[in-house]
Structure formats: C-alpha cells, structure tokens
Amino acid sequence: MRFSTTVLPCAVAALSVLHAEHNRLLPAPQQISYSAGKLAVEGLQIRFASAPSAEDLFVAREIAAAFARILRHPVAIGEPGRDVRAIRLVRDGDGEPLPGKEETTGPVSRESYALRVAQDGAEIRAKSTAGLFYGAQTLIQLVEGGGAESFLPAVEITDWPSLAYRGVMMDLSHGPMPTVEEIERQIDFLARFKANQYYFYSELTIELKGYPLINPGARYSQDEVRRIIDYGRERHVDVVPCLEFYGHLHDAFRLERYADFSPLPHGGEINPRNPKLMSMLNDWVAQMAGLFPSPWFHVGLDEPWELERAGSSAAGGVAPAKLYQDHLSEMARLLRSHDKRMMFWADVSAGAALFDRYPELASELPEGVIAVPWHYRAEKSYEHMLEPFAKARVPVVIGTGIWGWQDISPDFELTFSNIDGFLADGRKRNILGVVNTNWSDDAQILFRATLPAMSYAAAAAWQAAPMDREHFYEDYAARIYPAAAAPEMSIALKSLAQAQADALHALGYETRFRLWDDPLYPSRLERMQTRVDLLRKMRLEAEDAQEHLDKALALSHDTYTIPSLLVGARLMDYAGMKFLYAAELAEIFAKRLGPHPTRSDVGFWLNTQGSSRDHGRFADLMDAIKGIEDDYRSAWLAEYTPYRMGTALGRFDAEYEYWRRLQANFWEFEHAFKDQDALPPLDAFRPWGFKR
C-alpha cells in the first residue's frame, strides 16, 4: 500500500472539509488525517502479517462479522499474504491482553494502534492484540455507504487511550440480577467503545463456598463468574471484583446466624474487632482473590453509617477514624498477600464524608492503595475531592455516576455533565482512570436504557479531547443503528432527556419514586396545580420520544436497545398524565362543583369526567399502567433473572389498585348523592394515605 504523508498548506482547508464529510467516531482518535480516495468493502479479505494467535483470530472474526452484516454475505479470513485486496492485521509485539497493575498510556503503549486505509488495502498495526482489537472497532465505525456500495475512506489514524484504566461498574446487588448472557452483552457493548474494565459490583451476590444460607436465590455461581471473566478477556475487558468489606453487608447480617457480627443487630456494617467476623472476611477475600485473576481488587469501605452510631462502642470504644483506618490497613495487607492491588471508595463530600471529617486519613493510607473519590452530581469544580490524595501522593481513580438508578428515564444530561467535569479536573491531577458507576438502588431500573450513557462514559475515558455533547445523540445513534433508524433514535433520545429534565422540575428529586406517589396528597397536589404547563410539556416530550422510538424499532427491528427506552417514555407519559389529571380533578372540585352541587353536575364531573368505566380519567390510568406493566415485565425478563421482579411489579399493581378504588369511591358517592348534599373535599376520596 502507498500512503501520502505530506500535507501542503494550501490543502489544509480541503482536508478539513474531507474530515467533516466522514463519520464522527466514538471515541474520537488522538490523530486522524483523511485524504482523497476510498476502499470498497466488497471483495476485501482479512489477512495477517504473520501466523495469528487465537486472540488475533478473534479480532479478525470481529471485523468479518461486522462486514458480513453490512454486505449480507460472509467475509473471508485468509492466510498471511499480500496477493489480494485485504485488511492486514500486523501485531509487532507481545503485549498483555488486559491492563496490569501499572498500566501506561501514549503513542507506543500497549493499547495504541495505527490504522491506515488506501485505495488498494488497509492495515491495522499494534503492539498487542488489545491494540488490534481497538483498531478494529475504529475500522468498523469508518464504514460509509451501505450494502455492496459500502467503502472505507482513505485515512491515517494514530490512536491511544488518554487514560490507562477505563471502567464501568455494574451494580449486580441492589436491584435486579442480569443474566450471565446479559452481562456478556454489556461487556460486548462496552468493548466497542474501548472500555477495558468491567467492575462486578457484588455485596453478597457471588457464591461463597461454605455459606449456603447467604442469598441462595440471588447469586452468581463461581463457575458463572469464571465464564464472565473469560468472556471479558476475549474482548480485552478485565473483570474486576468490586465488593464490600465494611458496610453494605446486610444480606449476611439479616440472618440470625450472623446478626451479632454487626455493631447493630441485623445491621449493615461489620464490627472489625470481632474475631469471628474477621475470620469470615479473610475467607471471603481468599475465595474472591482466587476467583478473579484481575490484579486490582475493590474492597468497598464506603458509607459506614453505623461506624460512629454504634461501631466504635461495639468495638471497645476505639475512635471511629482509627477503627476505619486500622481496618483499611488490614484489608490492604491481606490483599497484598494475594498479590492484589487494593482500591476503595473514598467518601469525600459524599456518602459518610469520612475524609472531610477526618482529613488525616488521606496521609495515613497504606502505600500502593488506590483511592476512588466518588461524586455523581454536576459541580463547578471537583478539585476539593482530589486535593487530599494529591497532597498525600495517593493514586486516584475517580468514580462518576450514570444516572439511571432513581429516575423514570436515565438522566443523560446530568450524567454527561458529571463525567465531563470530574474527568477534566481529574486529568489535571493525573488520575489513573475512571470507574463509571451504574447503580440499581431503586430496584426498578432497566439497565439497557442506560446504554447511551455507558457508551459516553467509555468513550470519554479513551479520548483526550472533550466529548462533543452537541452531536452525541446523533453520533451514538449512527454508530448503533441502521442509517434509516439512526435519525429517529437521535430525536427520541433528545426528547427523552428533555422529558426527564421536565420531570425533575415538575415532580421533584428521584422521579422514579415520585412516579408512585399519591397524587391527591394535599401538599403534592398543590405543587402539581402550579406545574400544569410543565406536566403537559413533559408529556409532549415523552410522546414525541415514543413516536420516534416506535419508528426506529420498525426500521431497525432492534429488540435489544429500544424496548427499555420505550418503557421509560411510556412511564414518563403516564407520570405526566397522572399528576395532570389530579390537578384537573382539584380544579373541578374548586371551581366546577362548589360546596352544594346538583346531582346532574356531580354525575357529569365526577362520573363522566372521572370514574366512568369507559374513557374516564381513572379508566385511562388503569389501562395505561397495566399496559406498561406488561411491557416492563417483558423488558425485565429480557435482561434479568426473575429475582425481585415481583417486588418491582407490585408497584404497578398497587398503582392500578389506587385508581380502581378511587373509581369505586367516586362511583358510590355519585350514585348516593342527592341535590344540595354537601360535597366532601377531594382529599376524602383518597383510597389510602396520610390525612392532613
């Protein structure tokens, strides 16, 4: 192949036009230069510069599968040679497939790659199979056109990660449990955007040999975890144990056998001075260190709420800071004995704020441990969370948040602001990497709805330049969906994001829980009466999202990413309808009926407009919530095991029952009403709840 390396000054403007005409890549490469010309995809083979390893063959099959989907016929993987038009994979080193304890970045680092496309062929060159794999992901994104007319533009790319460690943490404890197959899909998805760590968050959802009573119906077997680890390795994603060895252990202490291992009976934290407890923890650490090959080991240690309430007294009156520090040091010593590098959540201006209240802790940390200060909100600056560790020369990985765990639909804009801001400040402090956390605290989340945020998180950690937020939804949709469906998805995601923003202003914090609130509770009803226009706007955005999601589904037949987003859009529309209808009912009671209405008015306003069995407000709401429940159940079972599904569906059932009872209350009142009877306040009709 021949490549031009000279760019004349007069050609710069033309090159920038060329660049604008091509696909925007996620993540954006460090260096990219387009030139005239293109390489037809039809007829290309995939070849190796030398005898391939199993990992090299995996990369070749990734490219072949992607091109086969485009061309609708198989793509050949040939023997080493130069006699055909081909994509040549050149691995000129033996770099490790996964990140190690002390990973570096730069143009000649383990994960770097060079990609060249000319009219007579293409080449990906790297020092490791990981580099080849990342070059292949970029190559696949470069394809333009469609079918037999597809081509690769002539281009030269030199690329490497800006951060050595680029992780996403999936919460596999607080809420639903993704199936093993779903976890593999998550790893596949993240690898496409060049993430290299999958943090397997488990409080006690991984099988522990010798502890059969702990979560028997809600855990992954050790064999299943090994399968996940192997799957990640093929895709150059290190599966890192992310466990809890201080707080968040209620799943053990709720059992009577272990209840007194906590400072509080049936509590959530350990008593570090209990020798039986520490013997058990040592066993757990040994099992998990043996199960996970990763050189990194996350031990949790966040949010020890009981530490000062009861922990110190139960531990013999040891000062809280010393109790915490001693336990942290003991965990670090234990993990060093297993040749693991310890990470821990560092509560700075978050959680229990230990490092705010005990600033000396930062300078007393054991050598080599990695602090993970975490914060999920958008802030003007994150410097104060990083400074204590910078002063103490403690290595840092930051913890950002993918906001899906408490909202009706993921809060993409807050997620992006948090990631962008924390990363920008973290880079100034030379952080090692990032853990983008995807929690499931509300136990109702559909993780697939967070996929756009997961891709943003992975891409932002790889590229050095700031993310192009203005075009992100378009770029993401173009990378994931067929050309006809991509514009529909871009509009849908923007509408969903706006609907979620409106919901926050209308309903308040934690919109997922506000969704289930009693709409006729007096103070809440008063709030909604002042937000009628916002509720209508929220519904319109949600309905717009539904329309475009439906179109995209018809055009793409994508049953992996779209149905969960559709459930979110429909729930958003339902929430708007529910509180809007409540405000309208309050208006009817205040202005249409008066204290002593006629029976005719009561029949019209309370029956026809409210409790009518056909087309009344309550029938609307019952129909809507039951229909969404069916789709939610299907979406749940597509991702998760049945564990906790009944709890989540119970909220839908309670919602239906609320409107059924309210309908019955209105119906009975209306049929017994006589002209000039007194009209009770709307609050009196509520099926249940606290009375003011």
Kindly state the average pLDDT of the residues 226-234: 98
Lookup result for tokens 């930051």: 398
Question: Class for domain 165-466, per CATH?
Answer: alpha beta
Q: 181-190, 264-273, 664-673 — which one is most confidently predicted on average?
A: 181-190
pLDDT > 90: percent of the chain = 92
- Supply the pLDDT for residue 3: 35
| Topology (CATH) of 486-685 | Four Helix Bundle (Hemerythrin (Met), subunit A) (1.20.120)
What is the token pair recorded at 226?
A: 């090994």
pLDDT at 318 over 60: yes
- Supply the pLDDT for residue 104: 93
pLDDT > 70: percent of the chain = 96
- Confidence at 672, pLDDT banded by 50, 70, 90: very high
pLDDT at 405 over 60: yes
- Confidence at 8, pLDDT banded by 50, 70, 90: very low
- Supply the pLDDT for residue 688: 77
φ/ψ of 40, rounded to 5, equals -65, 135
Kindly state the average pLDDT of the residues 440-459: 98
Sheet with 86-95: strands ordered across:
31-40, 151-159, 113-118, 121-128, 86-95, 45-48
- Supply the pLDDT for residue 14: 39
CB 189 within 8 A of CB 455: yes
Beta strands in 540-627 (DSSP E): none
Kindly state the average pLDDT of the residues 296-320: 92
Beta strands in 273-330 (DSSP E): 296-298
Of 507, 481, 345, 505, which is closest to residue 414 (Cα–Cα)? 505
Alpha helices in 470-561 (DSSP H): 472-480, 486-507, 511-514, 522-529, 532-556
Q: Is 106 left (phi over 0), alpha (psi -120 to 50) or beta?
A: left
Cα(407)–Cα(442) distance, rounded to whole angstroms?
9
Cα(490)–Cα(469) distance, rounded to whole angstroms?
12
| Rounded alpha-carbon distances, angstroms, from residue 166 to 146, 238, 395 | 32, 10, 15
pLDDT at 655 over 60: yes
Domain with CATH 3.30.379.10 in the chain: 9-159
- Supply the pLDDT for residue 9: 36
- Confidence at 38, pLDDT banded by 50, 70, 90: very high
Higher pLDDT, 525 or 21: 525
pLDDT digits (tens, 9 = 90+) for 69-92: 999 999 999 876 666 789 999 999
Domain with CATH 1.20.120.670 in the chain: 486-685
Domain with CATH 3.20.20.80 in the chain: 165-466
Whether the full predicted model's pTM is greater than 0.85, yes or no, is yes
Pairing relationship of beta strands 113-118 and 121-128 according to DSSP bridges: antiparallel
φ/ψ of 167, rounded to 5, equals -115, 155
The least confident of 25-39, 308-322, 394-408 is: 308-322
- Supply the pLDDT for residue 79: 73
φ/ψ of 241, rounded to 5, equals -65, 130
CATH 3.30.1600.10 at 9-159, yes or no = no
The least confident of 79-93, 608-622, 675-689 is: 79-93
What is the token pair recorded at 691?
A: 């009375």
Sheet with 296-298: strands ordered across:
370-373, 341-346, 296-298, 238-242, 197-201, 165-171, 433-438, 397-401
pLDDT digits (tens, 9 = 90+) for 482-506: 999 999 999 999 999 999 999 999 9
- Supply the pLDDT for residue 15: 38
Cα(423)–Cα(621) distance, rounded to whole angstroms?
43
- Confidence at 17, pLDDT banded by 50, 70, 90: very low
pLDDT digits (tens, 9 = 90+) for 240-283: 999 999 999 999 999 999 999 999 999 999 999 999 999 999 99
Kindly state the average pLDDT of the residues 538-565: 98
Average pLDDT, the chain: 94
pLDDT at 398 over 60: yes
